[in-house]
Structure 1
Amino acid sequence: MQENSKHKPRVFSGVQPTGNLHLGNYLGAITRFVALQDEHECLYCVVDLHAITVFQDPDELTHNTREVTAAFIAAGIDPTRQIIFNQSQVSGHAELAWILNCVARLGWLNRMTQFKEKAGKDRENASAGLYVYPNLMAADILLYHATHVPVGEDQKQHLELARDIAQKSNNDFAKTIARADYPGGFFPLPEPLIAGPATRVMSFRDGTKKMSKSDPSDLSRINLTDDADAIAKKIKKAKTDPEPLPSEVEGLEARAEADNLIGIYAALQGTQKDVVLRQYGGAPFSKFKEALAELATEKLTPIGDEMRRLLADPVEIDRILADGASRAHAIADPILAKTKDIVGFIRS
């Protein structure tokens, strides 16, 4: 019998507080978080432990943690119905991560492509935390016996690793798990919630690269705190090709910038690319960009306004995070205690 069998399906997901939340974060993650809360029991975590796998200025980390929290709430996540908290306030994440470090195999971690990408050529200078980052992600999920995890393409491999770690833990400790009356295994194998359209939002300056806060050009992205003028300016200056918009989806992928802008419009409108192309196919990009700017402004400026209002009261944001952490503890602590029993730790 699994810990969460009497509940709705339980979702865990997190966003790193590394600054400059942008349209890619919103469409790729936050809008999906809002949609999931009606059908699932959700824990939405500001994963500050993950953030420090590369150095973070302490003052900026504090601000960015509050900014992600404000974005969650401004976008429509209800902190009274769902749990919003920052990872470092629940020590079970780090405790379970150490146990899972001792279950996961080096060969598994060596196959993680994201470490290779983030560490670059100078891997010897990368932090140990960056290397074992996927084990902490597994701990985030398994600490709550989460059944589902929203994932994009860049996180699918990490979720597969979390499933491998869960399965190996169930096998390694099968004797004490059975004794604890968990015949089906203690850790559930989390299932992916596959993303919908436009979850991989690309740069406005290069349609082959993901939209990123680290891009030196601010014109490459729409920040969630951008005002209407900034949004319109960035869309107007977004790179395109000289051809008019096609009337069909077929062949659109070969035109990276066009595909990106059409995908963004579809996601903001809650529709499909082919529907957008039936409306704007054959039109010049200038006309389509005007429509996209109007739609993006309509959808995003209220979120930016609400984020600024929330950030003006950091005490209230900290209260929400503390309340969320208390509720997260209520789920995590019994699971961590049973994990320690299964491993063989003596506890008071």
Structure 2
Amino acid sequence: MAHATLSHSSRFSRLLSTSRFLRKPSPLFAGEGFRCCCSAATDDTSPSPRKRVVSGVQPTGSIHLGNYLGAIKNWVTLQDTYENFFIIVDLHATTVPYDTRQLGKATRDTAALYLACGVDISKASVFVQSHVCAHVELKCLLSSSTPIGWLQKMTQFKEKSRKEGGENASVFLLTYPVLMAADILLYQTDFVPVGEDQKQHLEFARSLAQRVNHLYGGRKWKKLGGRGGSLFKIPEPLIPQVGARVMSLTDGLSKMSKSAPSDQSRINLLDSKDLIADKIKRCKTDSFAGLEFDNDERPECNNLLSIYQIVLGKTKEEVMEECKDMSWGSFKPLLADALIEHLNPIQVRYHEIIAETGYLDKILSDGADRAIDIADATVHNLRQAMGFYMRNSAN
């Protein structure tokens, strides 16, 4: 979520000219023969003039610089433009073996870091995935329309199931993309901020939405008493031009990850100043002279310069002018200082939030209530369209 985060968009002509994001729709499972019904989904309980954004992060391990620069920092820039739902996707954390004693604490820590990083609850709903039961119900309903071949194609399942020993991998790991699709489609979302590595999951959600719209929407739904039209919007990705994928400090070729065995591979948002400085000092570099962006033979150089660029808010040209003639011995202390200065306010605010008893619980409860209003309407519509006998709440 990472998952991250999740939405659909009908045909929109453009993004705001000031947006730093690229729109890159492209169905993953093209050629399956399902048409895209892009009219607005019916019965959204609280239509908003603003487009809706949904995203989330798993509460496993510590939130690191890659999560922050690749996702959460970008969420903050979206707040003034879109209606936002930011989820702590705790159910996703149970697809592989995990520590039951740590899940609850990690969930609170993740929520606190969302807020400490600048997510504003007056502009965004923040809630825990498992607090909104419709996520699980929609996953169940969508599973009946999901071809197993689609799931077996997913790169993440292939990689993680190998780690779990093939046949020992859980069914939940296989059906993980259906839950992610439910997270996205449940809120009739317009845009999903995604990194390059999450595009396959979003494309899966787009294809599944098209399939369900074709199987159950339109006139078929209307004959069952619904209002017709599409059941789901078709999600569109928002891919940041900078910071979409922050790489490991130990090789520069793999994504910075919570699951990497070495903590040296990542900067965690709550790392101490000394630890940040030590990790940057020891991170892998190369023996070339000078520093430069976009040289395929220098992935570590490109990664470290990109991190420096983003945390300082500079352009590539400004960073190149400053750093092109530097040695690693000169640049690494600059990068460490920039990271420490950037992360310090986040760490201070995080500790303030955690110390405020009841404050975080109230935010998460209010966020779940707002989410439930929309989520329940989506599930109700799909149940009706699929022909279920609907409960008469008047009795």
Given candidates 377, 382, 385, the residue that maps to 1:342 is 385
> Which structure has more helix as a fraction of its residues?
1
**Residue 190 of structure 1: aligned partner:** 235
Q: Deviations over 1:294-313 (max 9, x none)?
A: 21111111111221222234
Using the size of structure 1 for normalisation, the TM-score is: 0.94
- Give the match's secondary structure for 2:358: helix
- Provide the C-alpha distance between the structure 2 equivalents of 1:159 and 1:245, rounded to a whole number of angstroms: 39
- Counterpart mapping for 1:116-131 below 5 A: 116-120=158-162, 122-131=165-174
Using the size of structure 2 for normalisation, the TM-score is: 0.84
- Give the match's secondary structure for 1:84: strand
**Residue 14 of structure 1: aligned partner:** 56
Given candidates 37, 46, 61, the residue that maps to 2:79 is 37
**Residue 305 of structure 2: aligned partner:** 262
* Superposition deviation, residue 314 in structure 1: 5.2
- Provide the C-alpha distance between the structure 2 equivalents of 1:294 and 1:116, rounded to a whole number of angstroms: 39
* RMSD across aligned positions (CA): 1.6
- Provide the C-alpha distance between the structure 1 equivalents of 2:180 and 2:261, rounded to a whole number of angstroms: 28
CA contact (8 A) 1:170 1:177 kept: no
* Superposition deviation, residue 214 in structure 1: 2.6
Q: Tell me: CA distance 1:240–1:280, structure 2 relative to 1, closer, same or farther (3 Å).
A: same
CA contact (8 A) 2:53 2:83 kept: yes
The answer as to 2:273 corresponding to 1:228 is yes
The residue type equivalent to 1:340 in the other structure is R
- Provide the C-alpha distance between the structure 2 equivalents of 1:159 and 1:288, rounded to a whole number of angstroms: 37
Unaligned runs of 5+ in 2: 1-39
Higher RCO (CA-CA < 8 Å; seq separation 6+): 2
- Provide the C-alpha distance between the structure 2 equivalents of 1:218 and 1:6, rounded to a whole number of angstroms: 43
* Superposition deviation, residue 220 in structure 1: 1.9
The residue type equivalent to 1:57 in the other structure is D
- Provide the C-alpha distance between the structure 2 equivalents of 1:266 and 1:57, rounded to a whole number of angstroms: 36
Say how many residue pairs are matched: 345
- Provide the C-alpha distance between the structure 1 equivalents of 2:345 and 2:244, rounded to a whole number of angstroms: 21
* Superposition deviation, residue 145 in structure 1: 0.4
The residue type equivalent to 2:174 in the other structure is Y
- Give the match's secondary structure for 1:253: coil
- Provide the C-alpha distance between the structure 1 equivalents of 2:143 and 2:315, rounded to a whole number of angstroms: 42
Given candidates 168, 172, 176, the residue that maps to 2:215 is 172
**Residue 119 of structure 2: aligned partner:** 77
The residue type equivalent to 1:235 in the other structure is I
**Residue 193 of structure 2: aligned partner:** 150
CA contact (8 A) 1:11 1:40 kept: yes
Q: Tell me: CA distance 1:87–1:314, structure 2 relative to 1, closer, same or farther (3 Å).
A: farther
**Residue 317 of structure 1: aligned partner:** 360
- Provide the C-alpha distance between the structure 1 equivalents of 2:306 and 2:66, rounded to a whole number of angstroms: 11
- Provide the C-alpha distance between the structure 2 equivalents of 1:202 and 1:322, rounded to a whole number of angstroms: 34
The residue type equivalent to 2:150 in the other structure is W
- Provide the C-alpha distance between the structure 1 equivalents of 2:228 and 2:173, rounded to a whole number of angstroms: 33
Given candidates 49, 53, 61, the residue that maps to 2:95 is 53
**Residue 26 of structure 1: aligned partner:** 68
- Provide the C-alpha distance between the structure 1 equivalents of 2:290 and 2:157, rounded to a whole number of angstroms: 37
- Provide the C-alpha distance between the structure 2 equivalents of 1:6 and 1:228, rounded to a whole number of angstroms: 43
* Superposition deviation, residue 270 in structure 1: 2.5
* Superposition deviation, residue 242 in structure 1: 1.9
**Residue 249 of structure 1: aligned partner:** 293
CA contact (8 A) 1:244 1:281 kept: no
- Provide the C-alpha distance between the structure 1 equivalents of 2:167 and 2:262, rounded to a whole number of angstroms: 29
The residue type equivalent to 2:312 in the other structure is Q
